[in-house]
Amino acid sequence: MLCKKKHQELKPASPSPAEEDSQEGDENKIRGNWTNRMDFMLSVIGYAVGLGNVWRFPYLCYRNGGGAFLVPYLMMLCLAGFPLFIMEVGHGQFASKGCIGAWSIAPIFKGIGYSMCCVTILCCIYYNVIIGYTIFYFYSSFTTEVPWRTCNNTWNTESCMTSNFTEDATRPSAEFWNNMVLARSEGLHEMGPIRWQNLVCLIIAWIIVFVCISKGVKSSGKVVYFTATFPYVVLIILLIRGVTLPGSLQGILFYIRPDFSRLADANVWKDGAVQIFYSLGPAWGGLHTMASYNKFHNNFYRDSLILAGVNCGTSILAGFVIFSVIGFMAEDMQLPLANVTDNGPGLAFVAYPEALARMPIAPLWSVLFFFMLFTLGLDSQFVMMETVITAVCDELQSFFPRIFKFKTWITLITCFICFLLALPMVTNGGIYIFSLMETYSAGFSILTIGFVECVVIAYVYGSKRFLKDMKVMLGFQLNIYWRICWMLLSPAIITFIFIFWAITYTSLTYYEYTYPLWAECLGWLMIMAGVVFMPAYAIYYMIIYGKGTIQERFAQGLRPEESWGPALDKHRLEAGYPLLAPGDDLVSTKKVNGGSYEMVASVDTSVKVTEPV
């Protein structure tokens, strides 16, 4: 190889194909970028602010000491939620890769990305079933009187009552949910036929998801301008209407009245930590994916703090909305508040709809509420699907460089497969499968993934090194507090949840139905599916890619791949990373008089030389 004089043969390193014409529009011409920062912000808000903010957080507050629950919730936010959120957004933005490709930072741990995809795809399968339910309720609300207000329908039983409740009485909203929507069977042993109306709603849900994400972030980034903001309009409208109703004050006090004695219960702290993981969305892969489409110098730190704050504020706001109306219903029914409150889907599809049904102009409020739930669910589904599809495209790009040209077809195939896998959940026994997947598909797996990624970033790659990379993007050094969290506090909190979860584990039930042993084993298989990729890929890497002894192969897997670092040449130079050779030319990069230059040799292209900058 010959290196000639700078003014003759040495030349500035040529841009990669991804970098060409990056002065206007997208920086990365192959993957693309968000059109603007607001696309990213609204997409992450839509992803993080989901159905759980409306039906899970308010119930947890009520169950765990009202306003006192904010103490463990906010502490877990600062010690685990914020740190992991910032780490994942920074990691994805720096590498411009999805949740699999970003782990070239330590290739033996690439299984973390596969685990994220597995958990996310399991969630995608059942999440659209919920969106289908919101479509059905939305359609059913277009009447002069909502059908879950009275007991004179074909699906009602003799025990249905709208007032003067006895111990054996059932509410019309509960019968509409169980008998009309679900046609719930006795258990998993009695699955029954497919409910055609639920099937139609599921098909509609998947068609909408496909259309909105078919062009990637370019299409979904525009849809979220409506779907991410409309829920706030409805929440504010419902809050204003709710606080004007009789009994609303009692409901709000029931929600926020602090019982600090509950802080002595470890369950309260566990619930606070778990809610942070479900609410903010770390360890799912979605944050990596969304951030990977940011431009390199986007201030992700500022964005992360804003996004996490908005998410938590939305949860608290939703609690006021829910309990102001629940308080009205309790007074109208002359029942204690505890008797009309439910958790999970029961709160969204039984308790709150009945409260709305007792209000004047009930169909209007029902239409607004269920359309809000629909948009909340869609936003989260957009990002979860994009997480899986982006990861697939990133992985296949080295084999098929033009893979992103066929992203629409990959999206269609992925949506269709998820639709087929969700069909058992629209049968009479489908709610039992739904509950099984919701319980086991994510919780334990997400905590495991979060713990491992903290260890890899903080200890394998090195927290100092990671902070240095972040400084290149931000232009300033992140506070040492985040390093302490990544190295110590966040892993410690996750370990606490692990231990407590194992100690307090009980068999799964759905109201009065107890799941058989084989169903619980199926649930644990879902948990294993979410974590097995991490050790499995490590073994695969050492066998296929490693060289030398076992120790040498393992050490090799702990070092970043040559491709690790920013996607564009100008950013690689800025961060001190070697340029990647374009095409088949033999290219190595050296620094000469403070500048970076290529040295090209017309020799056997099977030889590859890499000299780090």
Binding site for Na(+): which residues? 46, 48-49, 53, 279, 311, 376, 379-380
Residues 13 and 22: their CA atoms lie apart, in Å, by 15
Residues 498 and 436: their CA atoms lie apart, in Å, by 20
Residues 153 and 553: their CA atoms lie apart, in Å, by 68
Q: State the DSSP code for 425.
A: G
- The residues pairing with 509 across neighbouring beta strands, listed in sequence order, are 514
And the tokens for 486?
């990544």
And the tokens for 456?
């890899």
The beta strands (E) that lie in 118-247 are given as: none
Cα→Cα distances 302→73, 298, 389, Å: 21, 9, 27
List b or e across 437-460, with b for residues whose CB sees 16 or more CB atoms inside 10 angstroms. bbbbbbbbbbbbbbbbbbbbbbeb
Annotated binding residues, as ranges? 46, 48-49, 53, 279, 311, 376, 379-380
Question: C-alpha 344: how far from its chain's center?
Answer: 17
Work out the angle at residue 404's Cα, subtended by the Cα atoms of residues 402 and 409, and round it to the nearest 5 degrees: 110
- The residues pairing with 305 across neighbouring beta strands, listed in sequence order, are none
Q: State the DSSP code for 15.
A: P
- The residues pairing with 589 across neighbouring beta strands, listed in sequence order, are 598
Q: Is 130 within 8 Å of 51 (Cβ atoms)? A: yes
Cα→Cα distances 30→96, 407, 565, Å: 11, 12, 16
Q: Is 590 within 8 Å of 13 (Cβ atoms)? A: no
3-class SS of residue 590: strand
Residues 214 and 194: their CA atoms lie apart, in Å, by 28
Stretch (H or E) spanning 592: strand 586-592
- Number of Cβ within 10 Å of residue 74's Cβ equals 14
Residues 6 and 8: their CA atoms lie apart, in Å, by 5
Strand order in the sheet with 586-592: 11-12, 595-601, 586-592
Residue with structure tokens 């040492």?
480
And the tokens for 335?
């029942």
Residues 535 and 408: their CA atoms lie apart, in Å, by 32
And the tokens for 169?
């009485």
Residues 184 and 182: their CA atoms lie apart, in Å, by 5
Those residues with Cβ within 8 angstroms of residue 136's Cβ, 6 or more apart along the chain or in another chain: 181, 197, 198, 201
Nearest CA-CA partner of 358 in 328, 323, 318: 328
Nearest CA-CA partner of 134 in 349, 365, 347, 315: 349
Query: Can you state the angle between helices 443-455 and 111-140, rounded to 10 degrees?
Result: 140
Q: Is 300 within 8 Å of 35 (Cβ atoms)? A: no
